[in-house]
Structures are given as structure tokens and as C-alpha cells.
Amino acid sequence: MKSFESYYTMNHKQLTFLILSIFCLLTISGRVYSADEVIKSYKKTDIELLDLKLTPLEKAWLKKNHKIRVAVKNGWMPIEYKLENDKHRGVSIDYLSEIGSLLQMDFTVVDYTENINQDQADIISAVNGNKIKNPNFNVLNQPFLSFPFAIYINKNAYQNKKINSLDNLSGLRVAVFKSGILAQKISQNYPNIKLVLVDIADEAFDELKSETVDAYVGNELVVDYHIATHRLTFVEKVSTTAFLSTISMAVSNTKPELASIMQKGMLSIGENNKELLDNWKISGKDYDWIIRIVLAGILIILLFLLLRFYRLKQSIKKQNVETQQQIWHQANFDDLTNLPNRHLLQNRLEQEVIKAVRSELSIGVLFIDLDDFKKVNDQSGHSSGDKLLIEAGNRISLCVRASDTTARFGGDEFVVIIPDLKDMIFLEKTCQKILSEIERPFLIGESLFYISASIGVSIFSTDCHNLDDLLSHADQALYEAKKLGRNRVQFFTESIKTNSLKRLSITSDMRIALMEKQFALYYQPIISLENPKILKAEALIRWIHPIKGMINPLDFITIAEESGLINELGDWVFKQALKDLIVCRERLGSEFQLSVNISPNQFNHPELLLKWIETMKALDIPGHCISFEITEGLLLAPSNEVLGVISALRKTGIEFSIDDFGTGYSGLAYLKKFDIDYVKIDKSFIQNLESDNYDAVLCESIISMAKKLGMKVIAEGVETEHQRKLLNHFSCDYGQGYLFSRPEPLEIFLCHATHEQTYL
């Protein structure tokens, strides 16, 4: 914006500069030079000179007398006249100046008087005609000006009458100069013309204007000059006459050398020298025309600049408004979905709360999270994910009233504010509408995506009166909805709050527990059913709380997963397991294998998992001594990143087991694709083996199919001898459960394991 301002200032300055320069140019364009007391010579001349051919006598004379006095008349424009500063100008001065430069002569100006004599002046610069009354001076043969007399009329008075020669003036009143030869010549040749004698040109023009004379006949150069300088638009030159007016210089009759030098100078420059006369022949019409063009030009430039300036100002204004709008939009709307962002959501919520307090109506806040959205991103890339988010935002907006606010809270989370809420049924219906809208398949590119949403709801006035709580209560309710199995609505309740607070405190306690080493690993043996041997065990984490005592992993693993703490916790588990494995291998043989549970969330930080490869190498532990227990969910729609990590880990020899098999998708065939080594049948099936015939059949078929596909089977939660026998009968490879041993601290586990018979 600043640059616009400065651009504008620059133009403003430019404008002033331009106007000033135009006026300066106009002022200096007329050739103004002054004749000092000494007439200055032109420095250089473009006039083509004839060879002056001065005689030796003339040259000698010049050497002695290079200062010449010239008597110059006043008020005879443009022949010669005096300026206000007493300096002389005119055609005669220009001629003298030119001669001065040709012959290195200095002409000093003196004022002309009628009876001027040789003691006062050497030259009279301009004499009308070829005769002079003053006996002390002789007129030069070569005049410097020779112009015809021309006829001028008042064009307003003679529109119809044709006047283009002296003949047409017969019987008419004609103004002519009193002095000079013209009056005499006209009265001789055209006796019918009624002459009106005038002293100066101005007088003749006055007569013309008042129509007291019909025409004015005068020297064309002089009269044209008057018309031009006085802009006498009413005067029109109709024609020139055959009578000539010559103007010459006169030289003192005591100075014949000077006379011949001047004569030669005059000849050299020539009569009516075009270059010199051009300075004086400005036609009135031309002058007006130039001024008009210049003025029009200035006006056009001014208008153009004004227009530009105005446009610039408008565009700066427009840009300012646009930029401000853009900044405001960026600060308040989500780039991707164009929905209000967190910031605007907060503002709107504040306003609604103020209104709700006044109107005593409630506000519903819906916290919406897309279930399994990550899958879309992992499976089809971020651009598909982005498109789905945009579409989901649209669908949610269409489920609510225009006066409600649908905002993108971040990631795959949306928040809807429903103000002026009168009944809860409406709120419930809106939530259901959103759930079913999100359940509809999303067509992105050429693929269909099926997802669902979970919604947490809080209500201003019943749940809470505090603005900050509104969002966090909805968030807590959302958490509950997710926990209860997703694709559902959960309204906020006090017990949710209690749970949520509990979660918070557990998370912070876990951080402390990690630092204070309150975690321990317990080991549960995995027994080979056919040939009872302890060649495997599963590491299971325990939290030994200084006050609460032993805490079960089921009470904190999910919380650790949600808070992200699982990465640190998992890292600790793996490293501790490696340390313990070294001891186990010493005591139970180098083929001993430890199973470690890896949460799917840990695959979000593959770099941590890949680092373990180095750790194992450093401790000289071969890969096949480790088995990672993962869940089916991780493999349902694995991203390339997940597949990459699994394959890198497999390359080191690490084996993979599918934990809790049978509770999820339970597809054996597709597990084969991922080179899975073990399938762990979930304990819920094993526990029903005796009572439920269906589960027995299921177990048997899982075992036989897994084996056909080259995978080994581990039965979890084997508690009774009967279960063991059945499993044995089904040819299950391994068993794990209380029947053999509960998970125990390392030392106890090792103690039992070295005396195998304890389990059998």
C-alpha cells in the first residue's frame, strides 16, 4: 500500500514539474535579446556570406575606427524601437549586429534626433526610402528591407464588397502615413482615393475599426507585425500593391570608407535576409494557433494526469478495501473448506452467549469428528482427503439453518453452533441428520469412500454457563461417543466430565511415572502345545503406582494412545524388553523369542520404530528373537509408510503376530499378503470353547485355515485343562493363559521357565 502512496506523490510532483516546464518553455520560446549601448555581435552566424573584399584603405580605416556610433529611432516596430530598459531592438539592430560580427566592429547606440550631426553619430540605422533630409548623411544604395505596401481593411465592414487592389479603392477613404513617399505616390496615381493621413499605425487601425476609413495602406512588414502583436483580428490584408517601401541605413558624409564598408556588409547579408526577418515575421494567426495548440496540449495533459490521479486514488482505495477484506477473510476462514475457522467460531460463540443470556434461550454446540478419516488420507493421499473434508463441511452446513455456524475446528473436526434453541428434540434430529449425511458414500475422483462421524454435544444454560466450558464439554462428549463405538451422538453429562478429568490426571501422572520409573514389564509364557516348551513369552506392561498400587494396562494404554504418550511409553517398553531379552536368552537359550505389543498409534512415528533396528544391532540381538504384536486394524488400509516400516522391520528378522484375532475384520486370507507369522486367537473365543459349540467350530476353522496359509496359531487366555485339550485336538500351535502362568515379573518368570514342569 505504501508503494501506491509514494507513486501517487511522485505523479503529483511530476505534474507540477511538467506545468512549470511548459510555462518556462513558452516564456523563453520567443527570441528575446537586447541591444545594449554597444550592439552585441552574434557569436556564430548561419548566414552565408559573400566575400566582403575590403580594400586596404577600408581595412586600415576599420583598424583605427572600430567603434562606430549609430543613431537609432524609437517606436518604429519592428524596424527599430527602444525597450523599457533603454535597450534597442529591431531588424536594423539585427543587421548591425550581424555586420558587427562580420567585420569586428562595435556599434554604440545613440538616440536619434531629427537634426543629428556627424559629431553625434556615424550612422543612422534606418531611413525610409532612398532620400534623407539631413544634409550630414548619405543613404546607402543597398537597402536592407524592401517590402511592398499592402491594403488592409476592416473585414467586418467589407463582407460583400470586393477590394483587392488600389483601383477598388477609388472614391473610398484610405489611411496612409503622413511622412514617407506613399501618400505622394497614391495621390499622383490614384487621385480619386480620399487619403486620410495618420501619424502612427495605431491611429490608422482606430480609424479602420470605427469605419471612418475604408482601408489602410502601409508597409507590409510593419503593418503585419502590428496586427500580429496586437492581435487585431478585425483587420484583414486583402492584397499588396505595386509600390515598394525600402529601408536603408545612412552614413555620415564625412566617412566615405565607413559608407563603403557598410555597403559591402549590407550586400553580403542581403536585402530582406530571411533568417533575420524570421524573428520578426510572426503572423498573428500563427501565433494564436500555436498558443491554442499548446494550451490544448496542456489541458489534455492536465486532464489526463487528473484522470490518472483519480483512477490511482480509486484503485488504491479499492486495493485497500480488498486487502483488508482479504486479511480479514484469511484470519477468520479456513483456507481449505472456506468455513469459519476457530477464531471466528470463538467470536460467534461469544456473541451467541451474550444474546442467549438476554433471550434466555439455549445454545447447542456440536463437536463433530469424522471416524477413520485418517484411512482416506493414508489410502488415497492428501488431495483426496482434502476433497472429502470440503464435501463433509458442505454436507454438515446443509443440515443446519443458515443462521447457525458451521466451523472447521482443525483436522477432521467440525463445530456447529445452534443458537436460539427451544427444544432438545430439534437438536437431536439435527445430529442424526448430520450422521446420516456423513454416512452417505463420498465420491472422490473415481473412488467411493465410506466413513462415519461421531458427535459430542454440549448445551449452554443446562450443561454450563461458561463460554470456555461449552467447547470443552462438547469435546469430552465427543470422546465418549468415540469410545462407545463411533458413528453416534453423545450429549455431555457430569460423569463424562468426571471421566475426562480422570483422563487428564492419568495423562499427567503417566508423564511423572515415566520419569520416576514406575513402569515395569511382566512376562507371560507362550507354551508350545504339542511339545510343551517355553520358547516364547509376551511382555505386558504394568504401572506400579506409589499410592494406587498396580494399575492395569487397560486403564491407561488407550489414554496414552490418545495423548500421544504411547510413543514414549512404547519406546521404553521396547528398550526394557531388549534388556530383559538378553537375560532370557542367557537363561533359556538363544532361540527364545519375546513378543512386544505395538499400538497402531506408534506407526504414526515410524522414525522411532526404525531407530530400534540400530538399538538391536548395537545389543547384538537377532531379529527373530522379537515378535511384534499388532492388530488387524493397522493392516486394513495400510499407508505406504506403514507398509515400508513393517517391511524394514521384517528384513531384520523380526516376526509379526496378529493380536486379538477374531474381534475385528477377521480375514485370514488377506493377512497372508503381509507375511504374518502368528495369529493370536482372542481370549473371548477360547473362554467359550467348552460352552459354545459355534466358537469351537470357529476356532477349529481359524486354526486349520491359518496353518494352511503358513501361519502359526497362538490361543490366548487358556484357563482350563479342557480348553488346552481341545486346542491340542485342533492342532493349535501355542497356548497362553492363566492355566500355564499369569504374567509375572522377569525374575519369577525366569524361575518358572527354567523349571518347565511347573506349567505342565
Which residues make up the interface to ligand C2E (CB under 6 A)? Answer: 524, 540-541, 552-554, 557, 570, 573, 597, 599, 629, 659-660, 683, 716-719, 737-738, 743
The answer to whether the peptide bond before residue 78 is cis (omega within 30 degrees of 0) is yes
Read off the C-alpha cell for 636.
Answer: 486394513
For Ca ion, the closer CB: 122 or 659: 659
187/688 with CB nearer Ca ion:
688
Cell numbers representing residue 191 in the block: 487621385
444 or 658, CB closer to Ca ion? 658
Q: Is 420 in the site for Ca ion (CB under 5 A)?
A: no
Select from Ca ion, ligand C2E, none the partner in contact with residue 578, using the beta carbon and a kind-dependent cut-off of 5 to 8 Å: none
Q: How far is CA 114 from CA 52, 111, 124, 137, 641, in A?
A: 32, 10, 11, 12, 119
Region binding Ca ion by CB under 5 A among candidate stretches 384-392, 394-402, 584-592, 626-634: 626-634
Which of Ca ion, ligand C2E, none does 23 bind, CB closer than 5 to 8 A by kind? none
Report the distance separating Cα 39 and Cα 87, nearest Å.
9
Interaction partner, residue 393 (ligand C2E, Ca ion, none; CB < 5-8 Å by kind): none
Beta carbon of residue 355, minimum distance to ligand C2E (angstroms, whole number): 47
Quote the longest CA-to-CA distance of the chain. Answer: 168
Q: Which of ligand C2E, Ca ion, none is residue 552 near (CB under 5 to 8 Å by kind)?
A: ligand C2E
Selection from ligand C2E, Ca ion, none that 738 binds (CB < 5 to 8 A by kind) is ligand C2E
- Rule CB under 5 A: is residue 458 a binding residue for Ca ion? no
Give the binding-site size for Ca ion (rule: CB under 5 A): 5
- Does position 700 bind Ca ion by CB under 5 A? no
Residue 356 or residue 573: which is nearer to ligand C2E going by CB? 573
Q: Which does 215 bind (CB under 5 to 8 A by kind): Ca ion, ligand C2E, none?
A: none
Rule CB under 5 A: is residue 659 a binding residue for Ca ion? yes
Tell me the closest approach of the beta carbon of residue 742 to ligand C2E, in angstroms: 7
**Residue 373, amino acid:** F
Q: Which does 78 bind (CB under 5 to 8 A by kind): ligand C2E, Ca ion, none?
A: none
Quick count: other Cβ atoms within 10 Å of Cβ 18?
A: 14
Give the range of 48-56, 246-254, 374-382, 623-631 binding Ca ion by CB under 5 A.
623-631
Within a 10 A sphere around the Cβ of 442, how many other Cβ atoms?
A: 18
Cβ pair 219, 74 in contact under 8 A: no
> Which residue's CB is nearer to ligand C2E, number 226 or number 752?
752
Identify which of residues 205 and 628 has a Cβ nearer to ligand C2E in the complex.
628
CB 407 within 8 A of CB 338: no
- 525, interface contact from ligand C2E, Ca ion, none, CB < 5-8 Å by kind: none
Report CA-CA distances (Å) from 445 to 93, 376, 386: 95, 13, 12
Q: Which does 58 bind (CB under 5 to 8 A by kind): ligand C2E, Ca ion, none?
A: none
Q: Find the Cα–Cα–Cα–Cα dihedral 25, 26, 27, 31, rounded to 10°.
A: 90
Tell me which residue has its CB nearest to ligand C2E: 737
The partner in contact with residue 723, picked from Ca ion, ligand C2E, none with C-beta cut-offs of 5 to 8 angstroms by kind, is none
Residue 95 grid coordinates:
543587421
Give the residue with the Cβ less far from ligand C2E, 406 or 657: 657
* Rounded least distance, CB 676 to ligand C2E, Å: 16
Residues 577-616 that bind Ca ion (CB under 5 A): 597
**Taking CB under 5 A as the rule, does residue 463 contact Ca ion?**
no
DSSP-assigned letters across all residues of 372-399: THHHHHHHH-HHHHHHHHHHHHHHHHHH
- The set of cell numbers assigned to 243 is 509600390
Between CA 699 and CA 464 the distance in angstroms is 50
Partner touching 553 among Ca ion, ligand C2E, none, CB below 5 to 8 Å by kind = ligand C2E
CB–CB of 539/580 below 8 Å? yes
- Minimum distance, C-beta of residue 716 to Ca ion, in the bound complex (Å): 5
660 contacts Ca ion (rule: CB under 5 A): yes
What burial letters (b/e) apply to 683-700, b meaning 16+ CB within 10 Å?
bebbbbbeeeeebbebbb
Terminal CA-to-CA distance of the chain, rounded, Å? 85
> How far is residue 147 from each of residues 40, 80, 182, 263, measured CA to CA in Å?
26, 16, 12, 19
SS (H, E, C) 220-246: HHHHHHHHHHHCCCCEEEEEEEEEEEE
Q: Considering the complex, what minimum distance in angstroms separates the CB of residue 631 from ligand C2E?
A: 8
* Smallest distance, Ca ion to C-beta of residue 595, A: 7
The one-letter code for the residue type at 201 is A
Cβ 636 to ligand C2E, closest distance in Å? 18
Q: Say whether residue 629 binds Ca ion (CB under 5 A).
A: yes
Q: How far is the CB of 685 from ligand C2E (least distance, A)?
A: 12
**CA 218, CA 204: separation in Å to the nearest integer?**
9
d(CA 542, CA 528): 25
Task: Name which of 237 and 542 has its Cβ closer to ligand C2E.
Answer: 542
Going by C-alpha positions, the residue among 156, 114, 155 that lies closest to residue 137 is 114
Burial of 171 (0-12, 13-18, 19+ CB in 10 A): exposed
359 DSSP assignment:
H
Q: How far apart are CA 214 and CA 201, in angstroms?
A: 15
Per the CB < 8 A criterion, the answer to whether 474 and 455 are in contact is no
Q: How far is the CB of 627 from Ca ion (least distance, A)?
A: 10
Residue 412 touches Ca ion, criterion: CB under 5 A: no
- Taking the complex as a whole, the smallest distance from the CB of residue 558 to ligand C2E amounts, in Å, to 9
Nearer to ligand C2E, 99 or 686 (CB): 686
CB closer to Ca ion, 463 vs 538: 538
- Indicate the residue among 716 and 744 with the shorter CB distance to Ca ion: 716
Nearer to ligand C2E, 218 or 737 (CB): 737
Whichever of 488 and 712 has its CB closer to Ca ion, that residue is 712
CA-derived radius of gyration, the chain: 59
Give min distance, CB of 625 to Ca ion, in A: 17
d(CA 526, CA 536): 5
Of 578, 614, 576, the closest CA to residue 593 belongs to 578
Given a contact cutoff of 8 angstroms between Cβ atoms, the answer to whether 145 and 246 are in contact is yes
3-state secondary structure of 662: coil
- Taking the least distance from each CB to ligand C2E, the nearer of 154 and 599 is 599
In whole angstroms, how close is the CB of 634 to ligand C2E at the nearest point?
Answer: 12
Site string for Ca ion, 714-743 (x = CB under 5 A): --x---------------------------
Confirm if 713 and 706 have CB atoms less than 8 A apart. yes
Whole-number Å distance between alpha carbons of 366 and 26: 78
Task: Give me the amino acid identity at 10.
Answer: M
Nearer to Ca ion, 388 or 573 (CB): 573
Distance CA 6, CA 501 (A): 58
Q: What is the nearest approach in angstroms of ligand C2E to the Cβ of residue 666?
A: 15
In the structure grid, which three cell numbers stand for residue 639, read together? 499407508
CB of 434 to ligand C2E, least distance (A): 33
- Minimum distance of ligand C2E from residue 553's CB (angstroms): 3
Q: Which is nearer to Ca ion, 80 or 716 (CB)?
A: 716
CB of 660 to ligand C2E, least distance (A): 6
Site of interaction with Ca ion (CB under 5 A): 597, 629, 659-660, 716
